[in-house]
Structure 1
Amino acid sequence: MKTKKTLKPWVTNVISILLLAIIGYSGYKIIKIKMDESKTIKIQNEYKLPNIKNDDASEDVESYSEKFNSLKVMNNDFKGWIVFESGLIDLPFVQAKDNDFYLRRNFDKEYSSHGSIFQDYSQDLNGRNITLYGHYVYNNADIMFTPLSTLKDKNSYEANKYFSLYLDREVRKYVIGAVIKYSLTDEPLYQIGDQTDEEFLQFIKYIDTHKLFDTNEEINIDDKLVSLQTCIRNEDDSRWLIIGKLVEVNEIQ
């Protein structure tokens, strides 16, 4: 008669330890994701643009200046806010000496898988094409640049096509001229930093031939642009690129 074979005690112990390690690591990852999400939401709520739509314009300016200066003291890399009129996005943005620093750091310069919204390190705010980067967050559709993915739908575009950059002394209003799905395997999309007229015209041509739908917003060589860039869900080699065209500048005084 055959006897039933059993696992040796040490094998059972090893398997148990491995299972516990897997469960423990999975639990840690879930907790870390939730902690990052909680911090990101807290920063978005606390550091968003102050209400400047009161009846008293002088109080508006004072409130704005106080908020701007307080964030500048907290983080000298702070440049301003990007705010959609619809409320789709309301976030501070920063600029470091390279594009890696804020990729995994929040506004408080603490580690965060969500990073920050940041301007390309090589650009200044007077360039003809400013690039702002932000993460797509898989587990929360409402934070960072994740909401930009909704603009692929024409109806969502129409409802969210205006945004502004709130800077130290002025507000720049933009209309979205194009929504583009960009593949990193394509030819270089645009030159980061200063662009020659020829390079800028090539970029405009790319925009015109790759936009998902017609926005009836023409972009030409005299325009000042903002490019908002974020990842695409489950497509590591692709990016959403939202092109905003400057339509209005108002001083804050």
Structure 2
Amino acid sequence: MNPNIKKSVAALLVIAILGGMTACKKTTEPQEPERLNPSHWVNTLEPPLRASPYQVEVPEENRQKLAEAKAANADSTLWIEIPNTTINQVVVQTTDNEFYYRRNTQKVYDFAGCLYADFECDFGDGTKDDLPRNTIIYGHNLGNPMGITDDPNDVMFAQLFHFQDIEFAKANPYVYVSTENEDFVYQIFAVSYTEDKAKPVSYIHPNYNNEEYMKLINDMRDRSLYDYNVEVTTKDKILTLSTCTYKYGTYSVNNKQRFVVFAKLVTDKQFAETADLTENPDPKQPTFS
């Protein structure tokens, strides 16, 4: 073969090899990522929290019962129901906490009284955003014998003493509350004995600054009969159910003692069929002056 032809063939072979290498290199280099339209960015975010499989719904008839009660007495403000108790009734409210102390919902004298919301609680239009930070409801425990021994089978808020039974507490983690415009589910996070004016923060106020609020929540957890696995933060709104107790004396010896159930408003549709709790081995005890 002509030497010149050999040189030409060799040159062509070199060019072919180098061209192949260049082509391979181009196909393996990382490509510039596609710039997504901002309207597509939402697809890269985590999806919103889905409701848990087990759901809790406030009975539809509760708001209707409240409407009927309000037609009979304009002071009718809330309807409260605690499953597996006899607490399924109207809550009234007026301009002080004395009027309904020994009156029923028809404003007639009744030693057992009725359930009433603290006069400082402002419910606005009765929507979630209008609820006070702390919704406080009072009710009597007459005791059996009267003024001496707590009886969970007695009337009004004596029913709260069912929560002294750990099995009952596990099986009943929620409280239902309704206004004229909305239904609410509250999840219990503490069941506590306390003074009527607890320290460092009293539970009988509807609004707190953040520091006071967390002091209250942590104090009631410390006092609780059980350690509930329920997160409560300054973003949450709570429900306080308060009644007399005779655990630390009788009515005549010490009428400053209280039994209180605390619950937080559920807003994320995350429900559990039973309460996740353990017994508190050393609950903080009330001190009476």
Question: What TM-score, normalized to structure 2?
Answer: 0.61
Instruction: Give ranges in structure 1 of 5+ residues lacking alignment.
Output: 1-51, 54-59
Please point out which of 169, 189, 192 is paired with 2:202. 189
Matched, 1:160 2:172: yes
Residues 191, 261 of structure 2: 8 Å contact kept: yes
- Aligned residue in 2 for 1:238: 257
**Residues 133-170 of structure 1: per-residue CA shift (max 9 Å, x gap):** 00002247242001101212211211222111021111
Instruction: Give ranges in structure 2 of 5+ residues lacking alignment.
Output: 1-57, 124-130, 145-150, 270-289
Residue type of the partner of 1:171?
D
Please point out which of 92, 96, 108 is paired with 2:106. 108
- Aligned residue in 1 for 2:49: none
Equivalences for 1:1-253 in 2 at 5 Å?
67-125=65-123, 126-139=131-144, 141-184=153-196, 186-187=198-199, 188-190=201-203, 192-233=205-246, 234=250, 236-248=255-267
**Residues 152-206 of structure 1: per-residue CA shift (max 9 Å, x gap):** 2211211222111021111100111000100237524235132111211211221
**Residues 99-129 of structure 1: per-residue CA shift (max 9 Å, x gap):** 0001010001000111110000011231111
Larger Rg: 2
Residues 238, 265 of structure 2: 8 Å contact kept: yes
Task: Find the aligned partners of 1:65 and 1:203 in 2 and give their Cα distance.
Answer: 31
Please state whether the residue corresponding to 2:70 is helix, strand or coil.
helix
CA RMSD in angstroms, aligned pairs only: 2.3
Residues 189, 206 of structure 1: 8 Å contact kept: no
Which structure has more relative contact order (CA 8 Å, sep 6+)? It is 2
- Aligned residue in 2 for 1:40: none
Question: What TM-score, normalized to structure 1?
Answer: 0.69
Please state whether the residue corresponding to 1:145 is helix, strand or coil.
helix
The structure richer in helix per residue is 1
CA 68–193 in structure 1, closer or farther in 2 if over 3 Å, else same? closer
The 10-residue stretch of structure 1 (152-161 or 122-131) with the greater mean CA deviation from structure 2:
152-161
The structure richer in strand per residue is 1
Task: Find the aligned partners of 1:66 and 1:203 in 2 and give their Cα distance.
Answer: 34
Residue type of the partner of 2:220?
I
CA 108–220 in structure 1, closer or farther in 2 if over 3 Å, else same? same
Residue correspondences, number:
191
Task: Find the aligned partners of 1:118 and 1:73 in 2 and give their Cα distance.
Answer: 17
Residue type of the partner of 2:205?
I
CA 197–191 in structure 1, closer or farther in 2 if over 3 Å, else same? farther
CA shift for structure 1 position 70: 2.6
